[in-house]
Amino acid sequence: MTAVPLAELVIAAAARTPAAPAVHCGPVTVSYRELDDMARGYTAALVELGVAPGDRVLIWAEKSVEVIAVMQAALRIGAIYVPLAPANPAARVELIADSCSATLLVTDAARASRISSPRTRSVEFAALRTNAPAAECHRPDLDDPAYILFTSGSTGAPKGVCLSHRNALAFVEWAVAATGLVAADRLANHAPFNFDLSVFDLYGAFRTGAAVDLITSDQAYAADVLVEFLCDRAITVWYSVPSALQLMMRYGALLHRAEPQLLRTCVFAGEPFPIADLLSLRTAWPNVRMFNWYGPTETNVCASYEVTARDLTRERAVPIGVAASRAQLTLDPADEGEIVVDGPTVMLGYWGLPPHRGPYRTGDLARNNDAGQLEYIGRRDAMVKVRGHRLELGDVESVLLAHPAVAAVAATVLGTGLDARLHAVVVPHDSDAPPTLLALKAHCAAQLPTYLLIDSLSLVDELPRTANGKLDRTELAAAQGLP
């Protein structure tokens, strides 16, 4: 595939197959011709509002065809789009707008009324109408920024990860080939647009002329709704965090249904998939290819592992696999250490800070296994000290997750110094038959040294999650009364 700027993917698909469906959103379906026409109109409107190459355009709204068309319009101008989750409070939106010196905020009527800062210039989708002729597309350099994804920063301030056209395309082209994506596919878009998982859903579809089917935020964690969506909307490719699939299995009776007839590929990323649940899904869907993808927002997917029937005898988490997206992966120190990523998907940098140069240090720890694959250990910053030993909480969690009575778990530390002890917060598979502390200690003792055995246990119905579905350790600490 020849690399072209992201804006040209929809233009090319509209020229090849104008009547083919591009986006499904509930009862609404738009073809590639219609999406191209909408993007043309929004491009002219944005230019009329003064948006120029390099400007930042924030988009704060629920997922819709209109949101995608505005993203496309920004790209055609050479502007940088900044998607924001609809659940963001207005104060955070204004903070992000200020931090990236946004030229414009595009939103809906309800959200526009919440913006009070005179520094944030906003316009509603309904007002993006113009009689001006369609503007000429700006053809950016592939290394120009295309979009900014804001993530939570360690200081509490949002952090803008700036990605180029080349960054996105290096991943998309690899992913299209790895999954065998074709024009006949229909991809489920579970992730919010500000989460890097959505890049495959959107641009994988546009690259091949396939269709993407949007899951809105009010549907994203409704188990029954998600199961119906997967089974009834002719989805062929599913990509989400593991917790969404676990939710569907536990509360949506996903495994009580027959294997979805049209689903051929299931991809998960963003967090470890508890091995018991993963193997239950692998067993129930023998004809579906399954991939475990790994990579932080700063690199998108840089490692991949295909889960097959050979994994059914595993007791611990599946590997994150081998390098993907033409990345070069090293460990520092070698064999077991921090994952360091180099290659075409590594971000341009954080908005407002100096450009990123060279390899990116992920802060994630991994080890090489005998097959030359990376096994994820956990976060470097999750390293704690208990009983005089430095330990990685992810190491404890991966063993606890292998216990058949454990559906989900988070390990944490209670107390400090000599009083520090390991505590496990567990979601049981069956609330009527929860695991006991003694049973979990005995289970861990077979695989872990004594200093890694948990000292205490609490049972919860579910673990707190961020808006992207990942474990929210800050909220977990607050709920457990931790500092």
Residues 45-93 pLDDT 10s: 999 999 999 999 999 999 999 999 999 999 999 999 999 988 888 888 9
∠ CA 437-420-457, rounded to 5°: 20
**Can you read off the two tokens belonging to residue 336?**
């077991």
Taking the C-alpha atoms of residue 384 and residue 372, their distance in angstroms, rounded to an integer, is: 28
- The structure tokens 């800070």 sit at 353
Structure tokens at 287: 């004809």
For residues 325 and 431, membership in a common domain is answered with no
**pLDDT at 1 (0 to 100):** 59
pLDDT per position as a tens digit, 110-169: 999 899 888 889 999 999 987 777 777 888 999 999 999 997 654 446 789 999 999 999
Q: Tell me what percent of the chain is helix, strand and coil, each rounded to the nearest 5.
A: 30, 25, 40
DSSP element (H, E) containing 226: helix 223-232
Structure tokens at 164: 């180029």
Alpha carbons 71 and 10: distance in angstroms, whole number: 11
Give the torsion through C-alpha atoms of 214, 216, 221, 224, to 10 deg. Answer: -70
Cis, peptide link before residue 333, omega less than 30° from 0:
yes
The residue ranges of DSSP E strands in 343-439, in sequence order, are 349-350, 360-368, 374-379, 383-386, 389-392, 406-414, 421-428
- Residues of the chain predicted below pLDDT 70: 1, 152-157, 381-385, 387-391, 416-419, 449, 451, 468, 480-483
Q: Is residue 1 part of a domain?
A: no
Structure tokens at 403: 């216990």
Residue 89 lies in a domain: yes
Q: Checking DSSP bridges between strand 421-428 and strand 456-459, what pairing results, if any?
A: parallel
Q: What is the spatial order of strands in the sheet that 104-107 belongs to? A: 122-124, 104-107, 56-60, 80-84, 145-152, 158-164, 349-350
Residue 401 and residue 342 in one domain? no
Residue 431 CB burial class (10 angstroms; 0-12, 13-18, ≥19): exposed
Q: Is residue 97 part of a domain?
A: yes
CA distance from start to end of the chain: 51
Query: What total number of domains does the chain contain?
Result: 2
Residue 343 lies in a domain: yes
User: So what's the pLDDT on residue 155?
Assistant: 43
Q: Which domain holds residue 47?
A: 7-378
Instruction: Name beta bridge partners: 384.
Output: 391
Coil, strand or helix: which one is 123?
A: strand
Dihedral of CA atoms 181, 241, 400, 473 in degrees, nearest 10, equals 150
* Residue 363: CATH number of its domain: 3.40.50.12780
Q: Do 397 and 462 have their domain in common?
A: yes
Domain end residue (candidates: 378, 403, 424):
378
One domain for residues 400 and 371 = no
What pLDDT was estimated at residue 207? 98
Beta strands in 125-236 (DSSP E): 145-152, 158-164, 186-189, 211-214
Same domain, 337 and 367: yes
CATH code of the domain containing 467: 3.30.300.30
Q: What contacts 64, CB < 8 A, 6 or more positions away?
A: 25, 214
Picking from 378, 407, 435, the residue at the C-terminal end of a domain is: 378
- In-domain check, residue 301: yes
Do 306 and 343 fall within a single domain? Answer: yes
